[in-house]
Amino acid sequence: MLARAFRDSPLNRAVIRESDRSRRLRSNLFGTRTLLPVAAAHRAVWVAHRNDDIVGALIGTAPNCYPLPPPSLPARLVCTIGQGWSVARRWGDVFSRLDEIHLIEPHWYLGTLGIDPDHQGRGVGTAMLRHWLEFATGDPAPIYLETDRVANVSFYQRQGFDVVRETEVLGTKIWCMRRAAGSG
Protein backbone atom coordinates (compact mmCIF):
# COMPACT_ATOMS: atom_id res chain seq x y z
CA MET A 1 0.00 0.00 0.00
CA LEU A 2 2.78 2.48 0.90
CA ALA A 3 4.64 1.63 -2.29
CA ARG A 4 1.54 2.63 -4.29
CA ALA A 5 0.88 5.71 -2.16
CA PHE A 6 4.31 7.21 -2.88
CA ARG A 7 4.86 5.86 -6.41
CA ASP A 8 4.14 9.24 -8.04
CA SER A 9 5.41 11.65 -5.39
CA PRO A 10 7.80 14.32 -6.69
CA LEU A 11 10.76 13.16 -4.61
CA ASN A 12 10.17 9.53 -5.52
CA ARG A 13 10.17 10.44 -9.21
CA ALA A 14 13.39 12.44 -8.76
CA VAL A 15 15.16 9.58 -7.00
CA ILE A 16 13.97 6.64 -9.09
CA ARG A 17 13.95 8.54 -12.40
CA GLU A 18 11.75 6.00 -14.11
CA SER A 19 8.85 7.10 -16.26
CA ASP A 20 7.45 3.58 -15.96
CA ARG A 21 5.12 3.59 -12.94
CA SER A 22 5.48 -0.18 -12.46
CA ARG A 23 9.26 0.18 -12.09
CA ARG A 24 8.81 2.93 -9.50
CA LEU A 25 6.34 0.71 -7.68
CA ARG A 26 8.81 -2.20 -7.73
CA SER A 27 11.57 0.02 -6.35
CA ASN A 28 9.23 1.33 -3.63
CA LEU A 29 8.33 -2.21 -2.62
CA PHE A 30 11.97 -2.90 -1.80
CA GLY A 31 12.18 0.30 0.22
CA THR A 32 9.01 -0.26 2.23
CA ARG A 33 9.88 -3.91 2.90
CA THR A 34 13.15 -2.67 4.37
CA LEU A 35 11.71 0.21 6.43
CA LEU A 36 8.55 -1.32 7.89
CA PRO A 37 10.13 -4.09 10.02
CA VAL A 38 12.45 -1.58 11.69
CA ALA A 39 9.64 0.91 12.30
CA ALA A 40 7.33 -1.83 13.57
CA ALA A 41 10.00 -3.13 15.96
CA HIS A 42 10.10 0.36 17.48
CA ARG A 43 6.31 0.67 17.73
CA ALA A 44 6.31 3.51 15.23
CA VAL A 45 3.75 2.19 12.71
CA TRP A 46 0.04 3.00 12.78
CA VAL A 47 -2.37 1.60 10.18
CA ALA A 48 -5.91 2.29 9.05
CA HIS A 49 -8.17 -0.51 7.89
CA ARG A 50 -11.29 -0.59 5.76
CA ASN A 51 -12.81 -4.02 6.02
CA ASP A 52 -9.81 -6.36 5.74
CA ASP A 53 -7.64 -4.00 3.69
CA ILE A 54 -4.93 -1.67 4.97
CA VAL A 55 -5.75 1.70 3.42
CA GLY A 56 -3.33 3.95 5.26
CA ALA A 57 -0.09 3.86 7.20
CA LEU A 58 1.68 6.36 9.40
CA ILE A 59 5.24 6.03 10.64
CA GLY A 60 5.96 8.39 13.50
CA THR A 61 8.59 8.39 16.21
CA ALA A 62 8.49 9.71 19.75
CA PRO A 63 10.96 12.28 21.07
CA ASN A 64 14.57 11.08 21.10
CA CYS A 65 13.74 8.14 18.79
CA TYR A 66 14.79 9.79 15.51
CA PRO A 67 16.42 8.43 13.54
CA LEU A 68 15.29 4.85 13.72
CA PRO A 69 18.19 2.41 13.70
CA PRO A 70 19.24 1.17 10.28
CA PRO A 71 17.84 -2.07 8.92
CA SER A 72 20.01 -5.15 9.14
CA LEU A 73 22.85 -5.46 6.65
CA PRO A 74 21.14 -8.31 4.75
CA ALA A 75 17.93 -6.24 4.47
CA ARG A 76 19.90 -3.23 3.21
CA LEU A 77 21.71 -5.38 0.64
CA VAL A 78 18.46 -6.85 -0.67
CA CYS A 79 17.00 -3.34 -0.93
CA THR A 80 20.07 -1.96 -2.70
CA ILE A 81 20.17 -4.80 -5.21
CA GLY A 82 16.40 -4.61 -5.72
CA GLN A 83 16.32 -0.86 -6.25
CA GLY A 84 19.62 -0.62 -8.06
CA TRP A 85 22.85 1.04 -6.93
CA SER A 86 22.05 4.45 -8.40
CA VAL A 87 18.63 4.64 -6.82
CA ALA A 88 19.97 3.48 -3.44
CA ARG A 89 22.75 6.09 -3.63
CA ARG A 90 20.26 8.86 -4.43
CA TRP A 91 18.02 7.81 -1.51
CA GLY A 92 21.11 7.95 0.68
CA ASP A 93 21.78 11.48 -0.56
CA VAL A 94 18.18 12.49 0.18
CA PHE A 95 18.26 11.12 3.73
CA SER A 96 21.65 12.69 4.38
CA ARG A 97 20.48 16.11 3.17
CA LEU A 98 17.25 15.99 5.18
CA ASP A 99 19.13 14.79 8.26
CA GLU A 100 21.40 17.86 8.03
CA ILE A 101 18.42 20.20 8.48
CA HIS A 102 16.35 18.03 10.84
CA LEU A 103 15.27 19.51 14.17
CA ILE A 104 17.88 19.18 16.90
CA GLU A 105 15.54 19.62 19.88
CA PRO A 106 13.60 16.56 21.13
CA HIS A 107 10.50 16.17 18.97
CA TRP A 108 7.91 13.82 17.57
CA TYR A 109 8.68 12.99 13.95
CA LEU A 110 6.06 12.19 11.35
CA GLY A 111 8.23 10.35 8.85
CA THR A 112 5.51 8.88 6.65
CA LEU A 113 1.79 9.28 6.12
CA GLY A 114 0.61 7.34 3.09
CA ILE A 115 -2.90 6.54 1.96
CA ASP A 116 -3.81 3.98 -0.68
CA PRO A 117 -4.47 5.93 -3.89
CA ASP A 118 -7.97 4.40 -4.14
CA HIS A 119 -8.82 5.83 -0.70
CA GLN A 120 -7.23 9.26 -0.94
CA GLY A 121 -9.55 12.23 -0.50
CA ARG A 122 -11.91 10.26 1.75
CA GLY A 123 -10.69 11.51 5.13
CA VAL A 124 -8.46 8.53 5.95
CA GLY A 125 -5.29 10.64 6.15
CA THR A 126 -6.99 13.32 8.23
CA ALA A 127 -8.36 10.75 10.66
CA MET A 128 -4.99 8.99 10.99
CA LEU A 129 -3.11 12.24 11.49
CA ARG A 130 -5.57 13.53 14.09
CA HIS A 131 -5.44 10.27 16.01
CA TRP A 132 -1.64 10.30 16.04
CA LEU A 133 -1.56 13.99 16.99
CA GLU A 134 -3.84 13.28 19.97
CA PHE A 135 -1.34 10.67 21.07
CA ALA A 136 1.65 12.98 20.53
CA THR A 137 0.25 16.18 22.02
CA GLY A 138 0.23 14.67 25.49
CA ASP A 139 4.00 15.15 25.43
CA PRO A 140 5.64 18.58 25.77
CA ALA A 141 7.64 18.26 22.55
CA PRO A 142 6.97 19.76 19.11
CA ILE A 143 6.12 17.67 16.07
CA TYR A 144 8.13 17.83 12.85
CA LEU A 145 7.71 16.54 9.29
CA GLU A 146 8.83 17.08 5.72
CA THR A 147 6.64 16.93 2.62
CA ASP A 148 7.37 17.09 -1.09
CA ARG A 149 3.82 17.81 -2.22
CA VAL A 150 2.56 21.38 -2.27
CA ALA A 151 -1.00 20.18 -1.65
CA ASN A 152 0.16 18.61 1.62
CA VAL A 153 1.33 21.97 2.96
CA SER A 154 -2.23 23.26 3.43
CA PHE A 155 -3.34 19.81 4.65
CA TYR A 156 -0.79 19.97 7.48
CA GLN A 157 -1.40 23.68 8.13
CA ARG A 158 -5.05 22.85 8.87
CA GLN A 159 -3.72 20.58 11.64
CA GLY A 160 -1.59 23.32 13.21
CA PHE A 161 1.72 22.90 11.40
CA ASP A 162 3.76 25.85 10.13
CA VAL A 163 6.39 25.84 7.41
CA VAL A 164 9.73 26.47 9.12
CA ARG A 165 12.00 25.86 6.14
CA GLU A 166 11.86 25.26 2.43
CA THR A 167 14.68 23.43 0.73
CA GLU A 168 15.39 21.57 -2.46
CA VAL A 169 16.68 18.03 -2.79
CA LEU A 170 17.48 16.55 -6.20
CA GLY A 171 15.60 19.43 -7.78
CA THR A 172 12.49 18.73 -5.70
CA LYS A 173 11.04 21.31 -3.33
CA ILE A 174 10.66 20.10 0.25
CA TRP A 175 8.67 21.87 2.95
CA CYS A 176 9.81 21.29 6.54
CA MET A 177 6.96 21.81 8.96
CA ARG A 178 6.68 22.08 12.72
CA ARG A 179 3.76 22.00 15.13
CA ALA A 180 4.28 23.62 18.51
CA ALA A 181 4.41 21.43 21.57
CA GLY A 182 1.02 20.71 23.08
CA SER A 183 -0.93 22.54 20.35
CA GLY A 184 -4.21 21.28 19.10
DSSP 82-133: HH-HHHHHHHHHHHHHHHHHS--S--EEEEEEEE-GGGTTTTHHHHHHHHHH
The average pLDDT across 9-14 equals 97
Q: Is residue 109 part of a domain?
A: yes
Q: In what order do the strands lie in the sheet with 53-61?
A: 45-50, 53-61, 108-115, 143-147, 172-179, 162-169
Q: Is the pLDDT of residue 184 over 70?
A: no
Residue from 151, 170, 54, 159 nearest 108 by CA: 159
Q: Is the pLDDT of residue 29 over 80?
A: yes
Q: Per-residue pLDDT tens for 96-107?
A: 999 999 999 999
Are 102 and 94 spatial neighbours (Cβ–Cβ below 8 Å)?
no
Amino acid at 24: R
Instruction: Provide the pairing of β-strand 53-61 with 108-115.
Output: antiparallel
Q: Is the pLDDT of residue 19 over 80?
A: yes
Q: Per-residue pLDDT tens for 50-72?
A: 999 999 999 999 999 999 999 99
Q: Is the pLDDT of residue 32 over 70?
A: yes
pLDDT of residue 181: 85
Q: Is residue 94 part of a domain?
A: yes
Range of the domain at 102: 2-179
Q: Per-residue pLDDT tens for 76-92?
A: 999 999 999 999 999 99
pLDDT of residue 138: 83
Query: In Å, how far are 112, 135, 137, 179 from 184, measured between CA atoms?
Result: 20, 11, 7, 9
Q: Is residue 137 very low, low, confident or very high in pLDDT (cuts 50, 70, 90)?
A: confident
Q: How many domains does the chain have?
A: 1
CATH number at residue 158: 3.40.630.30
Q: Is residue 128 part of a domain?
A: yes
